[in-house]
């Protein structure tokens, strides 16, 4: 349990797959895209420390998510944005859940707390064939099962499916309509429906809502 003054949060720790073979420009574009998406996620939980993104170890990155229940939605959105960009790079990410002692100064480089240890440990122990993992306070076998299933499902998104998913996943009171998703993509609502169905969006969004309700309980 968190000590007095500590708060429970989520930390995502990840690295880019295929970065050693990628052009330097593609690597920089991928990190910039992840950072931009992290700023969008900040709007889900207003506050100066709602989220913070830091790059480290060249192709590595880390992000704090103030509401631990939103970590799974956040990591799927990050993955979708990267796949949609078609940079030839994907990302692995480990979700850590637990207390935060400090978010550091200008970045997460000097942050500390059990949540950072859980996230880093989960990434270090992740099999190379996997892209998502979760560890930390209160994490059960059921949490790991959900993450495993979403890992397998999202890994098979096509670029077109990922384009639709990155517009369907952001947190809002009402889910975006097919027409709202179709407009920026320049395609029909029917085409969006086809892409979302192929990506498993209905089941994924139901799973995320249930996941978030459990964390709020």
At residue 106, the pLDDT reads 79
Residue 4: its pLDDT value, please? 45
pLDDT at position 29 is 94
pLDDT for 1: 46
Those residues of the chain that have pLDDT short of 70 are 1-6, 46-51
Cα separation, 179 vs 190, whole angstroms: 9
Tokens 């859980």, residue?
118
- CA distances to 91, 164, 167 from 183, rounded to whole Å, are 27, 11, 10
Residue-averaged pLDDT of the chain: 91
| Residue tagged 């920089």 (tokens) | 28
Say how many C-beta atoms besides its own lie within 10 A of residue 6's C-beta.
16
Strand order from edge to edge, sheet including 90-100: 51-56, 60-65, 7-17, 90-100, 132-136
Q: Could you give all domains of the chain from N- to C-terminal order, each with its CATH number?
A: 7-216 (3.30.70.270)
Backbone angles phi, psi at 177, to 5 degrees: -75, 165
Pairing of β 90-100 and β 132-136: parallel
């Amino acid at each position: 349990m968190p000590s007095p003054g500590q708060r429970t949060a989520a930390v995502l720790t990840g690295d880019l797959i295929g970065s050693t073979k990628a052009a330097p420009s593609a690597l920089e574009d991928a990190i910039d895209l992840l950072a931009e998406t992290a700023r969008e996620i900040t709007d889900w939980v207003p506050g100066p420390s709602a989220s913070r993104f830091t790059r480290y170890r060249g192709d590595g990155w880390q992000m704090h998510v103030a509401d631990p229940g939103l970590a799974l939605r956040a990591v799927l959105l990050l993955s979708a944005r990267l796949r949609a960009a078609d940079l030839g790079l994907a990302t692995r990410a480990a979700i850590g859940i637990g207390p935060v002692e400090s978010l550091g100064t200008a970045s997460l480089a000097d942050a500390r707390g059990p949540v950072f240890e859980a996230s880093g440990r989960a990434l270090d122990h992740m099999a190379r064939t996997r892209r998502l993992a979760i560890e930390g306070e209160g994490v059960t076998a059921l949490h790991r099962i959900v993450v495993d299933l979403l890992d397998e499902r999202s890994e098979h998104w096509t670029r077109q499916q990922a384009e639709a998913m990155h517009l369907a996943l952001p947190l809002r009171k009402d889910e975006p309509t097919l027409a709202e998703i179709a407009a920026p993509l320049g395609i029909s609502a029917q085409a969006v429906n086809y892409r979302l169905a192929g990506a498993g969006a209905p089941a994924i969004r139901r799973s995320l809502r249930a996941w978030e309700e459990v964390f709020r309980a």
